[in-house]
């Protein structure tokens, strides 16, 4: 197989602000894995928060190319284990290779990935639409743009954030609301805010405190009525068993865990631990979003709107119906093609 990697700069429709950062672009990397007459697509979304960047990620992918030269796409276990040992700190780059291999397997067998896995495409959930941190005036504007989405995920974790949720609830009395503090609260904040959020009919709270503090998550969860979801605290399958009793749900992202194969391990581990599951995303094109969408018949919630938040997605893959339910492509492999 022959690997090539190019920069993929995605432009956000609005400056995207969360508790710890703000950005206008996502600097991702597109991977092409050529295998005879087939080409597998992959995408990495390097995260500064995890010590990654676009140039380093592309270099890593080119190094991975040498390991893939004589590999067979069906050798997933051996190839991906080898990459995990050699590049343990590069889950986003490994995810790109993992999804390109899955794309090739689908193309070789002539089956969409979800069908190859034996999943029921009718079981996909709706995706939520994310409202980043902003002024109340901008939040109102974003809500107009988000009209077709019945489920909203509101980014919190800054001073005055309860005013944002109250305004969203006032303007959208019927919508399902979820919130994500992105590690921005203390235990005390989280317990106090959860009471307000519960009254506002919020469905769950994502990552109130920073990772590495499961005991704090447990203290919060034991004192509030709403379910907590771990995101920054649940990167890989090994993170899940210790979260039992600390949260009720976990958020799985391909770029955190290293790809579809480890995401499947996370899904089975979470189920065995009695946890609910969301599949989420970063700011991503339809390559990464569509790859992640193939997993969603197995989970409870989806937050796969990264491709909707950008204005220059070069790809076409998973689509949404009138209620923002994910519609998986019927084409072989990931089912992604260039626009
Ligand atoms: Mg999150």
Q: What is the 3 state secondary structure string of the chain?
A: CEEEEEEEEEEEEEEEEECCEEEEEEEEEEEEEEECCEEEEEEECCCHHHCCCHHHHHHHHHHHHHHHCCCCCCCHHHHHHHHHHHCCCCHHHHHHHHHHHHHHHHHHHCCEHHHHCCCCHHHCCEECEEECCCCHHHHHHHHHHCCCCCEEEEECCCCCHHHHHHHHHHHCCCCEEEEECCCCCCHHHHHHHHHHHHHCCEEEEECCCCCCCHHHHHHHHHHCCCCEEECCCCCCHHHCHHHECCECEEEECHHHHCCHHHHHHHHHHHHHCCCEEEECCCCCCHHHHHHHHCCHHHCCEECCCCCCCECCCCEECCEECCCCEEECCCCCECCCEEC
Residue 240's pLDDT is 98
Distance 183 CA to ligand 1 centre (A): 9
Determine the Cα–Cα distance for residues 97 and 313; give it in Å rounded to an integer.
20
Distance 106 CA to ligand 1 centre (A): 30
Residue 276's pLDDT is 98
Distance 292 CA to ligand 1 centre (A): 15
pLDDT along the chain (339 residues), means of 10: 98 93 96 97 96 97 95 95 97 98 98 98 98 95 96 96 97 98 98 98 98 98 98 98 98 98 98 98 98 98 97 98 98 97
**CATH 3.20.20.120, domain 115-338, yes or no:** yes
Distance 111 CA to ligand 1 centre (A): 32
Distance 158 CA to ligand 1 centre (A): 14
Tell me the CATH number for domain 2-110.
3.30.390.10
Q: Strands 228-230 and 249-252, how do they pair?
A: parallel
Domain boundaries, the chain: 2-110, 115-338
Distance 207 CA to ligand 1 centre (A): 6
Distance 250 CA to ligand 1 centre (A): 10
Distance 297 CA to ligand 1 centre (A): 20
Distance 255 CA to ligand 1 centre (A): 13
Distance 66 CA to ligand 1 centre (A): 34
């Amino acid at each position: 197989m022959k690997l090539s990697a190019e920069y993929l700069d995605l432009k956000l429709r609005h400056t995207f602000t969360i508790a710890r950062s703000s950005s206008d672009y996502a600097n991702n990397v597109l991977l092409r894995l050529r295998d005879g007459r087939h080409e597998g697509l992959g995408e990495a979304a390097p995260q500064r928060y995890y010590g990654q960047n676009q140039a380093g990620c592309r270099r890593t992918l080119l190094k991975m190319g040498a390991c893939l030269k004589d590999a067979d796409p069906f050798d997933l276990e051996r190839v991906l284990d080898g990459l995990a040992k050699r590049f343990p700190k590069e889950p986003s780059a490994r995810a790109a290779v993992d999804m390109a291999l899955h794309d090739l397997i689908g193309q070789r067998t002539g089956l969409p990935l979800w069908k190859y896995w034996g999943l029921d495409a009718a079981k996909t959930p709706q995706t939520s639409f994310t409202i980043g941190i902003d002024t109340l005036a901008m939040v109102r504007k974003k809500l107009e743009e988000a009209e077709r989405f019945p489920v909203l995920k509101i980014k919190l974790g800054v001073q005055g954030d309860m005013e944002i949720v109250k305004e969203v609830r006032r303007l959208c009395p019927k919508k399902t609301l979820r919130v994500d503090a992105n590690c921005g609260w203390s235990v005390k904040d989280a317990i106090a805010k959860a009471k307000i959020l519960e009254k506002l009919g919020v469905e769950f709270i994502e990552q109130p405190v920073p990772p590495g503090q499961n005991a704090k998550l447990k203290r919060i969860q034991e004192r509030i009525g709403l379910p907590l979801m771990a995101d920054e605290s649940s990167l890989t399958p090994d993170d899940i068993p210790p979260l039992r009793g600390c949260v009720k749900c976990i958020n799985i992202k391909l770029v955190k865990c290293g790809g579809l194969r480890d995401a499947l391990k996370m899904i089975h581990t979470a189920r065995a631990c009695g946890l609910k599951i969301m599949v989420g995303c970063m700011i991503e094109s339809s390559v990464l979003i569509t790859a992640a969408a193939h997993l969603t018949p197995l989970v409870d919630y989806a937050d796969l709107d990264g491709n909707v938040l950008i204005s220059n997605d070069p790809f076409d893959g998973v689509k949404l119906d009138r209620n923002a339910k994910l519609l998986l492509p019927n084409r072989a492999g990931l089912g992604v093609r260039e626009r």
